[in-house]
Structure 1
Amino acid sequence: MDIAMSAHPFLGCPPQTPPEIQDLVHNEEKRTQASVSRSEASEKVLASRDLHALQNVASMVMQKKAKEVCLIGQGGFNQVFAIIFEDGTDIVARINGSRALQDSDKPRAEIVRRIRSEFATIRYIQANTTIPVPEIIFLENDFDNDVGAPYSLQKRIIGRMISDIWPSKFNPSCMNGEQAICAIEQVADFECQLSRFSNFDSIGSLEYDEVKNEFRVGPVTPLQKLSTLPGFYPGPWKSSIEYLRSLISTHKATLQQSDWLENRRAFFTYMNKANSPKIEDIDMEARSDHTHFITWYNMLEANLDHLDLSPFDPPHYPFVLLHEDLNIGNVMVDYEDPTKVVAVIDWEGSRVVPFWVGNFYSSFLNESDYSNDPKEQEIYCRMVETRDETRKKNLDPSLWNENTIPVLRSLFNLYQLVSLPPTCIPVPLFSTLLQNFLASRPQDEVDMFRPMLELGLGHANEASKAMARRFGG
């Protein structure tokens, strides 16, 4: 199925010369200045960092004089600086903290543990896969240092975010279908490698023991603030059932918090802002949803031991490594050849999960990245087909085949039901996921949860139903 070439932008992304450091600096300045609040937050973070100390460390590590430090990028959790040396070479420094201030309220010990786990993950990937990841030159894990925050020195990746050239009728420099397919095939292979090289005995996050020179699975280090989740146990867990039980306990406790109803109202007000909903309608829906979720968690907790998930745990199915946020903003491609993936970045929050979670949890192909343009949708469908074909070709056929895929997908729907926070999941989407889970389960389990299917959608509004139709099928 060929995509017609016309005056439409899908003519393909031409080769491009990599930008100079000053170009990156200028682009970041424009992005920051576009928002007053972000600019102020960025300046606040910068003021707390000693860039002169960073320059001195870089000079010592690289054994040559660093002459300049420039801000070239900011993500949700880090600021990225280019360090330029007198001989014209450069490296980058990635320092915890960013204009988004997403780590501003987290305990330092939690941040350090997450950063250590990220670099343990990168080290593991370098040793066991062909996935291109950042090359770490120097790592400072703790806050107690002259720079003022944990940081790393890394080799600069010469590549651009694939999100900048993602197929879109609004972007004249975007990739065409064939270029996008080439990139997707590589990313799908990377995801398969994370499943093939697995010998983990627990669910959690990776740690690395420098003394013993070995990897192990420790407590999970997700990107949200663990200390604010009531009743949350960070693991590690030895089975899928243990893991799900822990998540259920957390969400049940969340529903008992005094601010749950307020947060739920805020969520639906935001979802329906175009319709200017009445406060009493939002309040009615929020209270109805609270009853719905309480009923679900109580019912699931009471019946969890009757769900036999042991055939999908080791030794039958492995626990596998998962990139928490593998989206189009965390994959970089070559400037001259946009079909060549040069790096997968941002491994913070990566964790070890059951096989049936790791092979469906992918934010790289998200239909929300596409408009209703027929050509964009055609490209999207072809990329999904390519990803599925790559998985069938690269995964163990005894685990991943036409008979097992529906069952594994249904289990992933169960994971979504248990892991998505009840503050911000619409009841119609929740009900769709429940139906998808039960579609491939034994009849006794269907009967077990039939009361949930009969409970209905309460006071679900049209925005909630639309979200269920788009993401729940």
Structure 2
Amino acid sequence: MDTPVNSIAVEVLRERVSQRLGKECVDLESYMGGMHHQTYKALMNDRSLRIIRVHCVRARRHGGGITPMTKLPSEVATLKYVKEHTCIPVPEVIDYDRDEDGAVGGEWMVMEYIPGVSLGEKWGEMTVTQKGEAARSIANVWAELLSLTFPAIGSLYEEGKIGQMTFFPSNNPNNMAPPDHRSCGPFDSAQAWLLAVAAEDLTFRPLPERSSFELARRKLVTEFIQDNDLWDNLEAQRLSRITLEHRDLTLRNILVEKEDPTRIVGVIDWEAARTVPLWAVRGDFFKSCIHIMSDGEREELSIMIREIVAERVPDWYDATSNLGRVFSTLLDQAEKS
């Protein structure tokens, strides 16, 4: 349910957390918030801490904020999958509630509390050596994610099943509805996915009007995607292996030890995670970091991460370099068509 943060019924939430966990929640402290959710730190009567994340779209105040119903269920399933199948530190999901009666003001989930601070918060205090070690830790997380393989393109749901692709909520005030879920996959091939992207099947509604030039351009892009000679070879299949993408793996979503910021203790905010071909996964770990690092530092650390990951997942390195450029260019063109 899309509601602004001030309509979250905090007392109702506290009562329901108590009911679901079988012990009293004695306090809910506003912890952190994003454009699409509000997070609380819950103190239980046994002194344990939990994190409660409530879906609430702040952007709704300014228009937009349309959210696919799949967003939070997929995030819950993705956290569970990563917890079970990798060594990447993610919070354990303890409970999830759809808020079907609307009493809380948004669907919510309960997670374990991971003590730590965001890497972005610590960055300005770190030495050059520590920053290099932190970059190496990020590379290890990224490489482990890229080592996962899936049978279809879409998003994760319960029991590791691949279902329709989910998305970030829209911040466009002109949007009135999410993409039609019947057209959002799962897709059994990169070719099928790109055709759906080019056809705007994965675009929020209503669709913008297109000029005759834009429609002609789309036709050309579609014809190129439909060229089977592009896909029917072993090299294309290698570069198009389907993996899991965290779509916002930035310093703010990486929790580190307060005393040792080179050690990652949690990777958070998995909303809109998706399974896509290797060439579609473009890590941009230092975006929105202009205020805490120079362009030179950002470039140097990005190259370091890429080289470390290349040693462990060479297929991704190839897929995101010249060998896979034809595919990533097609994706760019499909998104613009």
Count of residues in Structure 1 that have an aligned counterpart in Structure 2: 328
Between 1 and 2, higher relative CO (CA 8 Å, sep ≥ 6) is seen in 2
Distance 2:88 2:98 in 1: 24
| Alignment match, 2:82 | 125
Q: Does 1:352 align with 2:296?
A: no
What is the alpha-carbon distance in structure 1 between the residues aligned to residue 41 and residue 205 of structure 2? 45
Alignment pair present for 1:414 and 2:316: no
Q: 1:150 to 1:56 in 2, by over 3 A?
A: same
Structure 2 CA distance for aligned equivalents of residues 159 and 299 of structure 1:
50
> What is aligned with 1:26?
none
Q: Deviations over 1:309-362 (max 9, x none)?
A: 24456577521011122222211211111111111111110011012212xx22
TM-aligned CA distance change 1:403 to 1:328, over 3 Å: closer
C-alpha separation in 1, matches of 2:182 and 2:161: 21
Residue type matched to 2:241 in 1?
A: P
Structure with the bigger percentage of helix: 1
**SS class of match (2:226):** helix
What is residue 309 of structure 2 aligned with on the other side? Answer: 391
Q: Give yes or no for contact 2:221–2:334 (8 Å, CA) kept in 1.
A: no
In the alignment, which residue of structure 2 is the partner of 1:370?
290
Tell me by how many angstroms 1:75 deviates. 0.6
The TM-score with structure 1 as length reference comes to 0.61
Alpha carbons 1:114, 1:222 under 8 Å: kept: yes
Is the 2:239–2:278 Cα contact (8 Å) retained in structure 1? no
Alignment of 1:315-464 (within 5 A): 317-358=240-281, 361-366=282-287, 369-370=289-290, 376-395=294-313, 397=314, 399=315, 405-419=321-335, 421=336
The question of 1:201 aligning with 2:151 is answered: yes
SS in 2 for 1:82: strand
Q: Please give the residue correspondences for 1:66-81 in structure 2 after superposition, counting only pairs within 5 Å.
A: 66-81=25-40
Same amino acid, percent of matched pairs: 23
Supply the distance in 2 between the matched residues of 1:137 and 1:377 (Cα, whole angstroms).
Answer: 40
Q: Is the 8 A contact 2:179 2:202 kept in 1?
A: no
Alignment of 1:68-147 (within 5 A): 68-101=27-60, 106=66, 110-111=68-69, 113-144=70-101, 146-147=103-104
Distance 1:302 1:317, change over 3 A: closer
Secondary structure at 2:200 match in 1: helix
CA separation of 1:182 and 1:416: change in aligned 2, threshold 3 A: farther
- Corresponding residue for residue 130 of structure 2: 179
For 2:24, the equivalent position in structure 1 comes to: 65
CA, structure 1 residues 252+380, in 2 after alignment: closer, same or farther (shift >3 Å)? closer
The 1-side partners of 2:262 and 2:77 are apart by: 28
Name the SS of the counterpart of 2:153 in structure 1.
coil
Partner Cα distance (1:236, 1:150) in 2:
24
Alignment-derived partner of residue 304 in structure 1: 225
Question: Aligned with 1:369: secondary structure?
Answer: coil
CA deviations over 1:288-329 (Å, ceiling 9, x no partner): xx5654342121123322261244565775210111222222
How many Å separate the matches in 2 of 1:295 and 1:177?
Answer: 51
Q: Give CA deviations for 1:410-460 in whole Å, capped at 9, x if unaligned.
A: 4223222222x56xxxxxxxxxxxxxxxxxxxxxxxxxxxxxxxxxxxxxx
Task: Kindly indicate whether the alpha-carbon contact (under 8 Å) linking 1:97 and 1:104 is maintained by their aligned counterparts in 2.
Answer: no
Instruction: Determine the structure 2 residue equivalent to 1:149.
Output: 106
Give, in angstroms, the shift of residue 98 of structure 1: 4.1
Query: Which ranges in structure 1 are unaligned for 5 or more consecutive residues?
Result: 1-40, 167-172, 209-213, 262-289, 423-473
